[in-house]
C-alpha cells in the first residue's frame, strides 16, 4: 500500500503498483466510469430476470433477486447480450423454454429507455448539464490526458449507437475522436479484449504502455492480461461525488487484478502524476 498525503480522498494501491512513465494510450469504460446516464440499470435488469426465471419450490422473490444480481454483476462490463445468454441458460436449467437472448436484450433496452429518457431529453434540451451526469471530476482528467498528448479510447458493453449518442450528449466525443466503440448485435465482432488488441497492434505499442480506467471487471482483467496498468473506478453511482467506494465493485475489481482503486476522479490528476512520474 502506498500513501500520498496530497490525495484528498480515498485511493487504494495494491502491492504490485509501480509508476509507468512510458504510458501512451488510455482506455476508458463508459457507463459507471464516465457516464451516469444509465445509473440504476440493475434496477431494470434484475426485475426482468426475476419475471422470466421459473421459480423452484420454496424460492422467494428475494432468492431470485439475489441469483439474478449475482449473474448480472458477474458479467458487468461485458456486452449486454452475455447477461441475456446467462438468463436464457438459467431458464433452461430450471426447466423453462427461453426466448432468444437477443429478444431479452431488446426488451431490457426498451425498459431501460423508459427509465433514462428524462435524462437524455434533459441533456438534449439543455435543462440538464453534462457535468451532472458525469462521474465526479471526470472532465479535468480527460482535459489533462489530452493536454499531455496521450491517445484516448472509449469501449463499452453498451450498444455502440447508444454509446456514441450519449458520448455526444455528455460532450465527451471530442476527447476520443473516432475511437468510440460499443457492442454490436453480432456480438462476436466486438469485445473490449479485441479493442485492446487493436490498440496495441495498430499503434505498435507494448501492453505496458496501456492505462485503463473502468468499473467493470472485463476492462480491468483484459488490461492486466496484456501487462497494462488498471485503475478501478469503484464509483458510487447513486451518490455521485460522495467519495465512497461501491464496496461490491471494489472487491470484484481488486479480485481481477486492479492496480489502484478510486471512488471517482477527485484525485485523478495527482494519481496521474504518480503513475507517469511527471
216 domain residue, yes or no: yes
CATH number (domain holding residue 210): 3.40.50.1000
Q: What is the pLDDT of residues 6-25, one digit of tens each?
A: 899 999 999 989 999 999 99
Single out the residue in 101, 125, 149 at which a domain terminates: 125
Are residue 156 and residue 117 in the same domain, yes or no? no
% of residues, the chain, pLDDT over 70:
98
Q: Give the model's pLDDT for residue 4.
A: 52
Alpha-carbon dihedral of residues 162, 164, 168, 174, nearest 10 degrees?
160
Single out the residue in 74, 108, 125 at which a domain terminates: 125
Are residue 60 and residue 159 in the same domain, yes or no? no
Find out whether 123 and 131 touch, Cβ atoms under 8 Å: no
Are residue 150 and residue 256 in the same domain, yes or no? yes
6 domain residue, yes or no: no
Are residue 247 and residue 181 in the same domain, yes or no? yes
pLDDT-derived band of residue 1, with 50, 70 and 90 as boundaries? very low
Are residue 108 and residue 144 in the same domain, yes or no? no
For CA atoms 245, 248, 253, 254, the dihedral sign is positive
Is pLDDT at 214 greater than 50 in this prediction? Answer: yes
Are residue 69 and residue 165 in the same domain, yes or no? no
78 domain residue, yes or no: yes
Find out whether 246 and 230 touch, Cβ atoms under 8 Å: no
Q: What is the pLDDT of residues 117-158, one digit of tens each?
A: 999 999 999 999 999 999 999 999 999 999 999 999 999 999
83 domain residue, yes or no: yes
Domain count, the chain: 2
Q: How many CB atoms lie within 10 A of CB 2?
A: 13
Is pLDDT at 5 greater than 60 in this prediction? Answer: no
**Which residue range forms the structural domain that includes residue 267?**
12-36+134-276
Are residue 177 and residue 86 in the same domain, yes or no? no
Single out the residue in 125, 143, 177 at which a domain terminates: 125
4 domain residue, yes or no: no
118 domain residue, yes or no: yes
Are residue 62 and residue 186 in the same domain, yes or no? no
119 domain residue, yes or no: yes
Are residue 52 and residue 152 in the same domain, yes or no? no
Are residue 69 and residue 92 in the same domain, yes or no? yes
Which residue in 166, 141, 177 sits closest to 265, CA to CA?
Answer: 141
- Percentage helix, strand, coil, to 5, in the chain? 50, 15, 35
DSSP code at position 76: B
27 domain residue, yes or no: yes
**198-227 mean pLDDT:** 96
Are residue 75 and residue 144 in the same domain, yes or no? no
Mean pLDDT of the chain: 95
Q: What are phi and psi of 190, to 5 degrees?
A: -145, 140
In angstroms, what CA-CA distances link 213 with 23, 25, 147, 263?
13, 11, 18, 11
Q: What is the pLDDT of residues 37-59, one digit of tens each?
A: 999 999 999 999 999 999 999 99
Are residue 156 and residue 105 in the same domain, yes or no? no
Amino acid at each position: 500500500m502506498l500513501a500520498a498525503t496530497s490525495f484528498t480522498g480515498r485511493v487504494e494501491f495494491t502491492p504490485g503498483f509501480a509508476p509507468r512513465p512510458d504510458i501512451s494510450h488510455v482506455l476508458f469504460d463508459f457507463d459507471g466510469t464516465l457516464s451516469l446516464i444509465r445509473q440504476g440499470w440493475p434496477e431494470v435488469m434484475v426485475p426482468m430476470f426475476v419475471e422470466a426465471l421459473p421459480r423452484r419450490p420454496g424460492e422467494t422473490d428475494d432468492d431470485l433477486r439475489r441469483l439474478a444480481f449475482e449473474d448480472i454483476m458477474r458479467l458487468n462490463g461485458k456486452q449486454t447480450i452475455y447477461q441475456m445468454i446467462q438468463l436464457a441458460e438459467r431458464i433452461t436449467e430450471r426447466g423453462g423454454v427461453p426466448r432468444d437472448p437477443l429478444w431479452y436484450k431488446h426488451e431490457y433496452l426498451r425498459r431501460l429507455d423508459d427509465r433514462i429518457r428524462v435524462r437524455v431529453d434533459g441533456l438534449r434540451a439543455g435543462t440538464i448539464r453534462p457535468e451532472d451526469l458525469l462521474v465526479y471530476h471526470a472532465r479535468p482528467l480527460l482535459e489533462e490526458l489530452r493536454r499531455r498528448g496521450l491517445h484516448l479510447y472509449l469501449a463499452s458493453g453498451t450498444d455502440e449507437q447508444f454509446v456514441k449518442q450519449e458520448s455526444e450528449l455528455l460532450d465527451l466525443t471530442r476527447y476520443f475522436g473516432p475511437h468510440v466503440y460499443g457492442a454490436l448485435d453480432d456480438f462476436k465482432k466486438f469485445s473490449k479484449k479485441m479493442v485492446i488488441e487493436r490498440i496495441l497492434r495498430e499503434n505498435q505499442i507494448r501492453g505496458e504502455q496501456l492505462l485503463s480506467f473502468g468499473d467493470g471487471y472485463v476492462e480491468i482483467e483484459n488490461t492486466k492480461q496484456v501487462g497494462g496498468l488498471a485503475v478501478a473506478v469503484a464509483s458510487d453511482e447513486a451518490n455521485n461525488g460522495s467519495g465512497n467506494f461501491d464496496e461490491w465493485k471494489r472487491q470484484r475489481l481488486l479480485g481481477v487484478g486492479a492496480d489502484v482503486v478510486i471512488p471517482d476522479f477527485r484525485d485523478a490528476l495527482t494519481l496521474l502524476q504518480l503513475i507517469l512520474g511527471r
